[in-house]
Amino acid sequence: MSIQLPPSAAPRSAYPADVLPDALCRRLLELTRAEVPVSAYVYDGEVAAERARELRSALPEWAAVYYAVKANSFPGVVEALAPHVDGFEVASRAELELAVHAKAVAASTPVPVVAAGPAKSLPVLTALVRAGVEAINAESLLELHRISRIAVAEGVRARVALRVNPATIPVTGSLNMGGVPSQFGVAEPDVPDVLREAMRLPGLDMAGFHIHAASNNLDAESHAAYLRWCVEWSTRTARRNGIDLRHVDIGGGIGVAFEGEKPFDVARFGELAGQVDVPAQVKVVLEPGRFLVADCGWYAAEVTDVKQSYGEQFLVLRGGINHFQLPTSWDIVHNIAVLPVENWPEGCPRPAAENSRVTVVGELCTPEDTLLRDVLVDRARAGDLVVFPCAGSYGWEFAMHRFLGHPPAERHLL
């Protein structure tokens, strides 16, 4: 079996250290004064807040931005976003608690939370019903029955949206099309029968639909066309099946550009979205996650050793895929900057790589613990810090914390 490693970075060079914000560098250098090697995430909540403000201000009044907490659940980041988003998308009780704490509302107002996930347990569904969330995105007929039974026992009606796996989405661009077998949602041909049964369940308020068919889309025009399609499909399906449509959730999917890619044009997306005819009283929910927080975080790890092996050089980190698995799991080149650290024990040899290509690896006992390959560095020494920008999403949350039992990466807020 071949090992999945990130693609080669050649002929790229590492970023110069001056791409790192001054406040970040000061904080990281402070961390080097501790007794333990540095391995940490540092987040700037204002960067995430500005991205949320940019998206929110570009959209029409009928649109709502709900941050997908799974992308970065650090409480400081969630709280920094809270004033600038309309609500949160959650998939667990832990995420629900974060969202409720960050965005308190009056007792008579639905909690601005939508909930997703293909296998919601009874404890999760019970917590969602008791919290009075704005919508539970129901994944199946069985889940609808469970929600209704819980709601009846609690003496309430739970607001739900049916998640749909559409047969086709006639939109070109960087979209994952519907119509493929999946554990997510109800297949479109089955929707009428499921809705007919759902309308008979006493504990449900069927508010609309959830359609999530986009992933890492950098094309603003195709994403606006996808939004239009979701609204038109939901309006048509609600009318045919006697649903009082108030809620259309189009999921996330706005992409984040890496080197050489054109960033998503937020202004153009907002302009085109404003041309969509949305029925009165219908809220269109967007669930951005990665788009809001990717560039608000940095992962930094100390170089514990610089090694040469059969003509290749390796920077060995106090960290790795147990802290930052994204480059390996997503098959991407995630570039670095090297932050020099001058503190070094007197009389101790300090190996270095100078003007050479290096491979950045972690501390785990597997060759799969490789974060970056064949990147050109001016100089990287044992004791310096390797810093990965754009590590604010699916970083700490996505890693293999317990593998080998090393301490997890710390998390800090600027």
Low-confidence ranges of the chain (pLDDT < 50): 1
- Run of H or E including 272: helix 266-273
Residue 301, classed as helix, strand or coil, is strand
All CATH 2.40.37.10 domain ranges of the chain, comma separated, are 17-44+294-413
Q: Let me know how long the chain is.
A: 414
Domain 45-293 superfamily per CATH: Alanine racemase (3.20.20.10)
Q: pLDDT by residue (tens digit) across 97-151?
A: 999 999 888 777 889 999 999 999 999 999 999 999 999 999 999 999 999 999 9
Return d(Cα 60, Cα 280) in angstroms, integer.
13
CA end-to-end span of the chain: 43
Please tell me the predicted confidence (pLDDT) of residue 117.
93
Q: Is 365 marked active-site?
A: yes
Per-residue tokens: 157 = 């009606």
Separation of alpha carbons 105 and 93, rounded Å:
18
pLDDT for position 173: 67
What pLDDT is attached to residue 175?
67
Segments of the chain assigned to CATH 3.20.20.10 = 45-293
CA dist 58 and 145 (Å) reads: 38
pTM of the predicted structure, to 2 decimals: 0.95
**30 CB contacts (<8 Å, ≥6 apart)?**
none
CATH class of this structure's domain 17-44+294-413: mainly beta
| pLDDT on residue 1 | 47
Of these residues, 230, 296, 365, 390, which one is catalytic?
365
Average pLDDT, the chain: 94
